[in-house]
Amino acid sequence: MSDIINGLATVSLGMILLCLSLLGIRPDLRARLPLVLVLSLVGLILLPAALPHTLAPNILPFGLWAHLALAPALWLYVAALTADTPFALRKHHLRHALIPVFGLIVPALTLLLPLPVREAMLMRGEAVNEPWALGLAVMAFGLILLWIGQSSVYIWQIERRLSTYRKRLRDVYANTDGRELRWLSLVTALIGGLWGLLLLSTAIEAMGATSPVPASALYLPAFLGIWALAVFGLSQRPGFEGRYAEAADASATQAQAKYSRSALTEPQAQRIAARLDKAMQDQQLYLDPTLSLPALSKRVGISANNISQTLNGHLNETFFEYINRWRAEAARPLLMETDKTVLEIALEVGFNSKSAFYSAFRRATGTTPTACRKAG
């Protein structure tokens, strides 16, 4: 079993080193700086399993600290991918470092213990009847309790931010493929499950019993999480990256807009809705797969804010739903009157994928493309 654990840890560390090397040569490293931190912390957690036993006692004390720092680092990575402006570390981010900095006290003091004492405590799990060692054990237990609460809060905040971000995407983009970060939700859930197994195993062993959770059950999810970060994290770009300039312009006038704008009246919203419908009908703007709210605003000469107010307040639709409704209606006659494949039709009317077409078509028409074709 130890050979399996060492093998998984070694392969995982190899992936991490490769990812860090590739991230280091990317020109947009600033946007991926939190990912560098996440991978480095995971590597620190796994490192003792791949080291000789003579070196492991010097690294193990920092494992708990790495756990304390991992959730804030993951939150920063999510914040970087979902931000309206380019990511940069700012003063308000320092609050996420408070608990990890506090957590450095225990590993720093642990390194002051004699090596035989550290080996007994960390490698063999033996109780050491020395006041200094007992005090550190109590402090470490307190950090574990702190880590449980901290991790729960961060996982909740991450999922909340991702949910809000996906809703905002639909107000800006007609196609959200590659932007929704579903894979990151799965990685977060995987990390949460891994921490749950680790807690269960630690609690059982603390009571003097043998944990039913094999060590390989902890390393395998870690390996899968690292693989997902390597595959998706290296290629994932921030969701709003294409509209950073528009967001910067909007933030520059935000204070003035807050007081100068008022809710549209019903007649105004009706006129804007009519202009939007006419532009869709005459210019077929929905056929552009990259169409976004700022781009539509420029094409029709109506502010993005007024378009958004009209869609959400007057038509009860997001930008995503409005554009895809037009696309679905354009696809209907093609399905009923031509022999083109569903994928060909989806791409022709502005969708990026067959799955997105099926979902939007069903939402807009109440039926599937296949059923529509059969009915025709």
The whole model's pTM is what? 0.84
Considering only residues 249 and 75, tell me which one the structure prediction assigns the higher pLDDT.
75
Residue 148 dihedral angles phi and psi, to the nearest 5°: -60, -50
The rounded distance, in Å, linking the Cα atoms of 33 and 73 is 10
Q: What is the DSSP letter of 123?
A: I
pLDDT of residue 262: 52
Residue 173 dihedral angles phi and psi, to the nearest 5°: -120, 145
Structure tokens at 232: 């998706």
What sections of 173-241 are H helices per DSSP? 182-206, 215-228
- What mean pLDDT comes out for the span 157-170? 94
Q: Please say if the pLDDT value at position 256 is more than 50.
A: no
Phi-psi group of 238: left, alpha or beta (phi > 0 → left; psi -120 to 50 → alpha; rest → beta)? beta
Q: How many percent of the chain have pLDDT more than 90?
A: 45
* pLDDT 10s digits, 179-200: 999 999 999 988 888 888 777 7
Q: Give SS3 for 173.
A: strand
pLDDT of residue 126: 67
pLDDT of residue 196: 81
Burial 280-315 (b: 16+ CB within 10 A, else e): beeeebbebbebbbbbbbeebebebeebbbbbeeeb
Considering only residues 109 and 76, tell me which one the structure prediction assigns the higher pLDDT.
76
Reported as a pLDDT band with limits 50, 70 and 90, residue 27 is low
**CA torsion 342→343→346→347, rounded to 10°?**
-150
Structure tokens at 257: 């807009």
pLDDT of residue 347: 95
pLDDT of residue 255: 38
Map out the domains of the chain with their CATH numbers.
2-240 (1.20.1070), 264-375 (1.10.10.60)
Reported as a pLDDT band with limits 50, 70 and 90, residue 333 is very high
- What mean pLDDT comes out for the span 281-301? 93
Structure tokens at 335: 């399905």
Tell me the pLDDT of the chain averaged across its residues: 85
